[in-house]
Amino acid sequence: MQNKRVVITGMGVVSPVGTGVEKFWQALIKGQSGIRTISHFDASAFDSCVNGDVIDYDPLAHFNSKDARNMARFIQFGVVAANEALAQAKLDIRQMDTSRAAVVIGSGIGSIVSAEEEYGKYIEKGPGRISPFFITRMIINEAAGQVSINTGATGPCFAIVTACATANNCIGEGMRMIQHGEADVVIAGGAESATSRIGLGGFCALKALSKRNDAPQKASRPFDLNRDGFVMGEGAGVVILESLEFASRRQAKILAELAGYGRTSDAYHITAPHPEGLGALRSMDMAIKDAGLKTTDISYINAHGTSTKLNDQIESMAIKKLFGDYAKRIPVSSTKSMTGHLLGAAGGIELAACVMSIRDNIVHPTINYETPDPECDLDYVPNVARKVTVDVALSNSLGFGGHNATLVVKRYKA
Protein backbone atom coordinates (compact mmCIF):
# COMPACT_ATOMS: atom_id res chain seq x y z
CA MET A 1 0.00 0.00 0.00
CA GLN A 2 1.40 3.41 -0.95
CA ASN A 3 1.86 5.82 1.95
CA LYS A 4 -0.27 8.94 2.03
CA ARG A 5 1.54 12.18 1.22
CA VAL A 6 1.98 14.51 4.20
CA VAL A 7 1.95 18.29 3.91
CA ILE A 8 2.58 21.18 6.28
CA THR A 9 -0.20 23.77 6.40
CA GLY A 10 0.67 25.79 9.51
CA MET A 11 3.62 26.66 11.75
CA GLY A 12 4.04 28.33 15.12
CA VAL A 13 7.23 29.55 16.78
CA VAL A 14 8.20 30.97 20.16
CA SER A 15 11.93 31.72 20.16
CA PRO A 16 14.71 33.86 21.64
CA VAL A 17 14.80 35.93 18.43
CA GLY A 18 11.06 36.48 18.27
CA THR A 19 7.62 35.06 18.89
CA GLY A 20 5.73 34.29 15.68
CA VAL A 21 7.09 32.64 12.55
CA GLU A 22 7.60 35.82 10.52
CA LYS A 23 9.38 37.67 13.33
CA PHE A 24 11.57 34.62 13.95
CA TRP A 25 12.41 34.27 10.26
CA GLN A 26 13.22 37.93 9.69
CA ALA A 27 15.61 37.87 12.65
CA LEU A 28 17.34 34.77 11.30
CA ILE A 29 17.95 36.12 7.82
CA LYS A 30 19.29 39.35 9.36
CA GLY A 31 21.70 37.32 11.49
CA GLN A 32 20.34 38.66 14.78
CA SER A 33 21.40 36.93 17.98
CA GLY A 34 18.93 36.19 20.77
CA ILE A 35 21.64 35.32 23.29
CA ARG A 36 22.00 37.54 26.36
CA THR A 37 23.14 37.49 29.97
CA ILE A 38 20.76 35.55 32.21
CA SER A 39 18.56 38.05 34.05
CA HIS A 40 15.74 36.02 35.65
CA PHE A 41 18.07 34.81 38.43
CA ASP A 42 21.59 35.57 39.60
CA ALA A 43 23.81 33.31 37.53
CA SER A 44 27.11 34.97 38.42
CA ALA A 45 28.36 31.90 40.32
CA PHE A 46 27.95 29.60 37.32
CA ASP A 47 30.60 28.85 34.70
CA SER A 48 28.10 29.90 32.04
CA CYS A 49 25.71 32.79 32.65
CA VAL A 50 24.27 33.42 29.17
CA ASN A 51 21.14 32.02 27.56
CA GLY A 52 18.60 32.45 24.82
CA ASP A 53 15.47 33.46 26.70
CA VAL A 54 12.17 34.61 25.20
CA ILE A 55 11.77 38.31 25.99
CA ASP A 56 8.78 39.34 23.84
CA TYR A 57 6.34 37.01 25.57
CA ASP A 58 3.54 38.08 27.94
CA PRO A 59 1.58 35.15 29.43
CA LEU A 60 -1.46 37.39 30.06
CA ALA A 61 -1.70 38.10 26.33
CA HIS A 62 -2.53 34.42 25.84
CA PHE A 63 -3.95 33.09 29.12
CA ASN A 64 -6.05 34.30 32.03
CA SER A 65 -4.17 34.94 35.26
CA LYS A 66 -5.13 31.60 36.82
CA ASP A 67 -4.01 29.52 33.84
CA ALA A 68 -0.84 31.58 33.47
CA ARG A 69 -0.01 30.91 37.11
CA ASN A 70 -0.78 27.19 37.04
CA MET A 71 0.64 26.29 33.63
CA ALA A 72 4.42 25.89 33.33
CA ARG A 73 6.26 28.13 30.90
CA PHE A 74 7.17 25.32 28.49
CA ILE A 75 3.52 24.24 28.34
CA GLN A 76 2.44 27.82 27.63
CA PHE A 77 4.98 28.03 24.81
CA GLY A 78 3.63 24.81 23.29
CA VAL A 79 0.05 26.08 23.41
CA VAL A 80 0.96 29.46 21.92
CA ALA A 81 2.95 27.88 19.07
CA ALA A 82 0.14 25.41 18.37
CA ASN A 83 -2.43 28.20 18.28
CA GLU A 84 -0.34 30.18 15.80
CA ALA A 85 0.10 27.11 13.61
CA LEU A 86 -3.62 26.35 13.63
CA ALA A 87 -4.44 29.97 12.80
CA GLN A 88 -2.07 29.91 9.82
CA ALA A 89 -3.57 26.62 8.68
CA LYS A 90 -7.08 28.10 9.09
CA LEU A 91 -8.03 24.89 10.85
CA ASP A 92 -10.60 24.44 13.62
CA ILE A 93 -10.23 20.93 14.99
CA ARG A 94 -13.77 20.98 16.40
CA GLN A 95 -15.17 21.39 12.88
CA MET A 96 -13.73 18.03 11.76
CA ASP A 97 -13.91 14.47 13.06
CA THR A 98 -11.90 15.15 16.22
CA SER A 99 -10.89 11.48 16.53
CA ARG A 100 -8.87 11.96 13.33
CA ALA A 101 -6.79 14.77 14.88
CA ALA A 102 -3.70 13.82 16.91
CA VAL A 103 -1.24 15.76 19.08
CA VAL A 104 2.43 14.79 19.42
CA ILE A 105 4.36 17.45 21.32
CA GLY A 106 7.37 16.63 23.48
CA SER A 107 10.00 18.28 25.63
CA GLY A 108 13.51 17.30 26.53
CA ILE A 109 13.24 18.18 30.20
CA GLY A 110 9.79 19.52 31.08
CA SER A 111 9.45 22.01 33.90
CA ILE A 112 12.63 21.59 35.91
CA VAL A 113 11.84 25.15 37.01
CA SER A 114 8.71 23.91 38.82
CA ALA A 115 10.63 21.06 40.46
CA GLU A 116 13.22 23.52 41.74
CA GLU A 117 10.61 25.98 43.05
CA GLU A 118 8.45 23.40 44.80
CA TYR A 119 11.42 21.64 46.38
CA GLY A 120 12.45 25.03 47.77
CA LYS A 121 8.98 25.42 49.31
CA TYR A 122 9.22 21.93 50.82
CA ILE A 123 12.60 22.61 52.40
CA GLU A 124 11.55 25.99 53.77
CA LYS A 125 7.94 25.37 54.80
CA GLY A 126 7.22 21.64 54.66
CA PRO A 127 5.13 19.37 52.42
CA GLY A 128 1.89 21.24 53.07
CA ARG A 129 3.07 24.12 50.92
CA ILE A 130 3.71 22.09 47.77
CA SER A 131 1.39 23.32 45.01
CA PRO A 132 -1.44 20.99 43.90
CA PHE A 133 -0.44 22.01 40.36
CA PHE A 134 3.18 20.92 40.82
CA ILE A 135 2.88 17.57 39.00
CA THR A 136 0.81 18.93 36.12
CA ARG A 137 3.25 21.83 35.69
CA MET A 138 6.28 19.55 35.67
CA ILE A 139 5.48 16.50 33.57
CA ILE A 140 6.43 16.50 29.91
CA ASN A 141 3.17 15.14 28.47
CA GLU A 142 1.18 18.14 29.69
CA ALA A 143 2.12 20.29 26.68
CA ALA A 144 0.48 17.75 24.37
CA GLY A 145 -2.38 17.25 26.83
CA GLN A 146 -3.10 20.96 27.11
CA VAL A 147 -3.08 21.42 23.33
CA SER A 148 -5.48 18.50 23.01
CA ILE A 149 -7.82 20.01 25.63
CA ASN A 150 -7.67 23.45 24.01
CA THR A 151 -8.29 22.24 20.48
CA GLY A 152 -10.64 19.33 21.12
CA ALA A 153 -8.37 16.84 19.32
CA THR A 154 -9.44 13.40 20.55
CA GLY A 155 -7.12 11.24 18.46
CA PRO A 156 -3.80 9.90 19.76
CA CYS A 157 -2.11 12.35 22.11
CA PHE A 158 1.37 11.74 23.48
CA ALA A 159 4.84 13.14 24.06
CA ILE A 160 8.11 11.71 22.78
CA VAL A 161 11.23 12.42 24.84
CA THR A 162 14.55 11.95 23.06
CA ALA A 163 16.54 14.88 24.47
CA CYS A 164 17.56 17.23 21.67
CA ALA A 165 16.00 15.00 18.99
CA THR A 166 12.54 15.29 20.60
CA ALA A 167 10.77 17.67 18.21
CA ASN A 168 12.05 15.90 15.10
CA ASN A 169 10.88 12.56 16.48
CA CYS A 170 7.47 14.02 17.37
CA ILE A 171 7.05 15.48 13.87
CA GLY A 172 8.37 12.35 12.19
CA GLU A 173 6.10 10.02 14.13
CA GLY A 174 3.19 12.35 13.40
CA MET A 175 4.05 11.98 9.72
CA ARG A 176 4.00 8.19 10.07
CA MET A 177 0.54 8.27 11.69
CA ILE A 178 -0.85 10.16 8.70
CA GLN A 179 0.97 7.98 6.18
CA HIS A 180 -0.49 4.87 7.79
CA GLY A 181 -4.02 6.26 7.83
CA GLU A 182 -4.27 6.68 11.62
CA ALA A 183 -4.95 10.43 11.50
CA ASP A 184 -5.82 13.17 9.04
CA VAL A 185 -4.21 15.97 11.08
CA VAL A 186 -1.34 15.95 13.57
CA ILE A 187 -0.28 18.92 15.69
CA ALA A 188 3.40 18.13 16.25
CA GLY A 189 6.57 19.67 17.65
CA GLY A 190 8.43 20.47 20.85
CA ALA A 191 8.47 22.96 23.73
CA GLU A 192 11.15 23.79 26.27
CA SER A 193 12.01 26.15 29.14
CA ALA A 194 14.72 24.66 31.33
CA THR A 195 17.12 27.46 32.23
CA SER A 196 16.79 27.24 36.01
CA ARG A 197 19.59 27.17 38.55
CA ILE A 198 19.59 23.37 38.59
CA GLY A 199 19.16 23.06 34.83
CA LEU A 200 21.98 25.48 34.13
CA GLY A 201 24.15 23.94 36.85
CA GLY A 202 23.65 20.45 35.47
CA PHE A 203 24.79 21.39 31.98
CA CYS A 204 27.70 23.35 33.46
CA ALA A 205 28.73 20.24 35.40
CA LEU A 206 28.75 18.34 32.09
CA LYS A 207 31.14 21.00 30.72
CA ALA A 208 28.71 21.38 27.81
CA LEU A 209 28.07 25.15 27.90
CA SER A 210 29.97 28.12 26.52
CA LYS A 211 31.88 30.21 29.03
CA ARG A 212 32.02 33.24 26.75
CA ASN A 213 30.16 35.29 29.35
CA ASP A 214 31.74 38.61 28.44
CA ALA A 215 30.27 38.50 24.92
CA PRO A 216 26.88 36.76 25.05
CA GLN A 217 25.99 37.31 21.39
CA LYS A 218 29.29 35.71 20.38
CA ALA A 219 28.91 32.68 22.65
CA SER A 220 27.10 30.36 20.24
CA ARG A 221 29.48 29.84 17.33
CA PRO A 222 28.82 26.51 15.57
CA PHE A 223 31.63 25.07 13.45
CA ASP A 224 34.01 27.90 14.42
CA LEU A 225 37.45 26.77 15.60
CA ASN A 226 37.04 28.67 18.88
CA ARG A 227 33.65 27.27 19.85
CA ASP A 228 33.55 26.22 23.49
CA GLY A 229 30.07 24.84 24.11
CA PHE A 230 26.39 25.44 23.48
CA VAL A 231 24.05 28.04 24.93
CA MET A 232 20.74 27.04 26.53
CA GLY A 233 17.62 28.46 24.90
CA GLU A 234 13.87 28.23 25.37
CA GLY A 235 10.77 28.32 23.20
CA ALA A 236 8.58 26.09 21.05
CA GLY A 237 8.13 25.02 17.45
CA VAL A 238 4.91 23.37 16.29
CA VAL A 239 3.68 22.40 12.83
CA ILE A 240 0.33 21.28 11.46
CA LEU A 241 0.67 18.11 9.43
CA GLU A 242 -2.17 16.96 7.19
CA SER A 243 -2.68 14.23 4.65
CA LEU A 244 -2.63 15.75 1.18
CA GLU A 245 -6.16 14.48 0.61
CA PHE A 246 -7.53 16.15 3.73
CA ALA A 247 -5.71 19.44 3.06
CA SER A 248 -6.90 19.44 -0.57
CA ARG A 249 -10.52 18.77 0.38
CA ARG A 250 -10.59 21.82 2.60
CA GLN A 251 -8.55 23.86 0.09
CA ALA A 252 -5.81 24.59 2.59
CA LYS A 253 -2.73 26.55 1.58
CA ILE A 254 0.16 24.08 1.53
CA LEU A 255 3.47 25.45 2.79
CA ALA A 256 5.63 22.43 1.98
CA GLU A 257 5.60 18.64 1.82
CA LEU A 258 7.13 16.60 4.63
CA ALA A 259 8.69 13.85 2.57
CA GLY A 260 11.21 11.90 4.63
CA TYR A 261 12.03 10.81 8.17
CA GLY A 262 14.95 8.87 9.61
CA ARG A 263 15.78 7.91 13.18
CA THR A 264 18.62 5.86 14.62
CA SER A 265 20.59 5.28 17.79
CA ASP A 266 24.34 5.55 18.19
CA ALA A 267 24.36 2.86 20.92
CA TYR A 268 27.65 4.40 21.99
CA HIS A 269 27.65 6.94 24.86
CA ILE A 270 25.23 8.92 27.05
CA THR A 271 26.48 12.33 25.84
CA ALA A 272 29.12 11.91 23.12
CA PRO A 273 28.16 11.15 19.51
CA HIS A 274 29.53 8.06 17.78
CA PRO A 275 33.14 8.93 16.87
CA GLU A 276 32.60 7.96 13.23
CA GLY A 277 29.24 9.72 12.98
CA LEU A 278 27.50 6.50 12.00
CA GLY A 279 24.18 7.20 13.73
CA ALA A 280 23.83 10.64 12.20
CA LEU A 281 24.89 9.34 8.79
CA ARG A 282 22.32 6.50 8.85
CA SER A 283 19.58 8.85 10.05
CA MET A 284 20.20 11.25 7.15
CA ASP A 285 20.47 8.39 4.67
CA MET A 286 17.22 6.86 5.94
CA ALA A 287 15.35 10.17 5.65
CA ILE A 288 16.57 10.84 2.11
CA LYS A 289 15.67 7.34 0.96
CA ASP A 290 12.31 7.56 2.74
CA ALA A 291 11.62 10.67 0.66
CA GLY A 292 12.48 8.76 -2.52
CA LEU A 293 15.37 11.14 -3.20
CA LYS A 294 19.11 11.06 -3.80
CA THR A 295 21.77 12.94 -1.83
CA THR A 296 22.25 15.27 -4.79
CA ASP A 297 18.60 16.34 -4.51
CA ILE A 298 19.25 18.07 -1.16
CA SER A 299 19.44 21.85 -1.58
CA TYR A 300 20.18 22.83 2.03
CA ILE A 301 21.04 21.23 5.37
CA ASN A 302 19.89 22.77 8.64
CA ALA A 303 22.50 21.21 10.88
CA HIS A 304 22.16 20.24 14.51
CA GLY A 305 25.20 22.51 14.84
CA THR A 306 25.34 22.96 18.62
CA SER A 307 28.66 24.84 18.95
CA THR A 308 30.28 22.00 20.89
CA LYS A 309 33.63 20.59 19.84
CA LEU A 310 32.41 17.04 19.31
CA ASN A 311 29.00 17.59 17.72
CA ASP A 312 30.12 20.01 15.05
CA GLN A 313 33.14 17.96 14.06
CA ILE A 314 31.29 14.66 13.93
CA GLU A 315 28.15 16.01 12.25
CA SER A 316 30.39 17.53 9.56
CA MET A 317 32.15 14.19 9.20
CA ALA A 318 28.84 12.37 8.80
CA ILE A 319 27.69 14.81 6.12
CA LYS A 320 30.94 14.37 4.20
CA LYS A 321 30.78 10.58 4.42
CA LEU A 322 27.19 10.42 3.18
CA PHE A 323 27.26 13.16 0.53
CA GLY A 324 30.79 12.60 -0.75
CA ASP A 325 32.09 15.26 -3.15
CA TYR A 326 28.64 16.91 -3.17
CA ALA A 327 28.95 17.76 0.55
CA LYS A 328 31.00 20.89 -0.05
CA ARG A 329 28.46 22.22 -2.55
CA ILE A 330 25.54 22.16 -0.10
CA PRO A 331 24.86 25.20 2.10
CA VAL A 332 24.83 24.08 5.74
CA SER A 333 23.80 26.43 8.53
CA SER A 334 22.97 26.34 12.22
CA THR A 335 19.93 28.15 13.61
CA LYS A 336 21.46 27.65 17.07
CA SER A 337 24.09 30.27 16.29
CA MET A 338 21.31 32.82 16.86
CA THR A 339 18.77 31.10 19.11
CA GLY A 340 20.98 28.96 21.26
CA HIS A 341 19.95 25.35 21.81
CA LEU A 342 16.24 24.89 22.51
CA LEU A 343 16.83 21.26 23.48
CA GLY A 344 13.54 19.38 22.91
CA ALA A 345 12.08 22.29 20.93
CA ALA A 346 15.07 22.81 18.63
CA GLY A 347 13.86 20.61 15.78
CA GLY A 348 10.49 22.37 15.69
CA ILE A 349 11.85 25.84 15.09
CA GLU A 350 14.53 24.52 12.76
CA LEU A 351 11.99 22.77 10.55
CA ALA A 352 10.11 26.08 10.39
CA ALA A 353 13.33 27.72 9.20
CA CYS A 354 13.64 25.06 6.49
CA VAL A 355 10.10 25.69 5.26
CA MET A 356 10.75 29.44 5.16
CA SER A 357 13.95 28.80 3.20
CA ILE A 358 11.89 26.93 0.62
CA ARG A 359 9.29 29.72 0.53
CA ASP A 360 11.78 32.57 0.11
CA ASN A 361 14.77 30.81 -1.47
CA ILE A 362 17.01 32.20 1.25
CA VAL A 363 19.33 30.29 3.55
CA HIS A 364 19.96 31.91 6.91
CA PRO A 365 23.57 32.27 8.06
CA THR A 366 25.65 30.64 10.75
CA ILE A 367 26.68 33.73 12.69
CA ASN A 368 29.91 34.10 14.69
CA TYR A 369 31.79 31.99 12.15
CA GLU A 370 35.15 33.74 12.29
CA THR A 371 37.95 31.16 12.37
CA PRO A 372 37.62 28.05 10.19
CA ASP A 373 38.17 24.68 11.83
CA PRO A 374 40.17 22.32 9.55
CA GLU A 375 37.91 19.46 10.68
CA CYS A 376 34.76 21.44 9.86
CA ASP A 377 35.30 22.36 6.24
CA LEU A 378 31.83 22.61 4.69
CA ASP A 379 29.95 25.67 3.44
CA TYR A 380 28.40 26.96 6.68
CA VAL A 381 26.92 30.13 5.12
CA PRO A 382 29.08 32.33 7.32
CA ASN A 383 27.52 35.41 8.89
CA VAL A 384 25.36 36.59 5.96
CA ALA A 385 22.15 35.07 4.57
CA ARG A 386 22.33 33.79 1.01
CA LYS A 387 19.86 33.74 -1.87
CA VAL A 388 19.77 30.20 -3.19
CA THR A 389 17.06 28.03 -4.68
CA VAL A 390 15.90 25.63 -1.97
CA ASP A 391 13.68 22.85 -3.28
CA VAL A 392 14.59 20.23 -0.68
CA ALA A 393 15.86 20.84 2.87
CA LEU A 394 17.20 18.35 5.40
CA SER A 395 17.08 19.05 9.14
CA ASN A 396 19.16 17.14 11.72
CA SER A 397 18.54 16.76 15.45
CA LEU A 398 20.97 14.68 17.49
CA GLY A 399 20.38 14.10 21.20
CA PHE A 400 22.12 12.95 24.37
CA GLY A 401 21.68 9.21 24.71
CA GLY A 402 22.64 8.70 21.07
CA HIS A 403 19.29 9.69 19.54
CA ASN A 404 19.39 10.84 15.92
CA ALA A 405 16.37 12.14 13.99
CA THR A 406 16.32 13.68 10.52
CA LEU A 407 13.48 15.26 8.55
CA VAL A 408 13.36 16.02 4.82
CA VAL A 409 10.95 18.71 3.62
CA LYS A 410 10.47 19.75 0.03
CA ARG A 411 8.65 22.27 -2.13
CA TYR A 412 5.10 21.08 -2.67
CA LYS A 413 4.17 20.06 -6.19
CA ALA A 414 0.69 18.74 -6.95
Q: What is the largest CA-CA distance in the chain?
A: 64
Neighbours of 383 (CB within 10 A): 13
Identify whether 304 is a catalytic site residue: yes
Identify whether 341 is a catalytic site residue: yes
The catalytic position among 49, 157, 204, 304 is 304
Q: Are 107 and 169 in contact (CB under 8 A)?
A: no
Say which amino acid occupies 165.
A
The catalytic position among 49, 157, 164, 376 is 164
- Nearest CA among 264, 236, 263, 242 for reference residue 342: 236
Q: Are 348 and 189 in contact (CB under 8 A)?
A: yes
Q: How far apart are CA 18 and CA 209, in angstroms?
A: 23
Identify whether 49 is a catalytic site residue: no
Say which amino acid occupies 26.
Q
Which region, left, alpha or beta, applies to residue 337 given φ > 0 means left and ψ of -120 to 50 means alpha?
A: alpha
Q: Are 226 and 376 in contact (CB under 8 A)?
A: no
- Nearest CA among 194, 193, 212 for reference residue 203: 194
Element spanning 403, H or E: strand 403-410
The catalytic position among 274, 341, 364, 403 is 341
Based on C-alpha coordinates, what's the Rg of the chain? 20
What's the number of CA atoms in the CB half-sphere (13 Å) around residue 295? 19
- DSSP label at 4? P
Neighbours of 309 (CB within 10 A): 15
Q: Are 155 and 246 in contact (CB under 8 A)?
A: no
Catalytic residues: 164, 304, 341
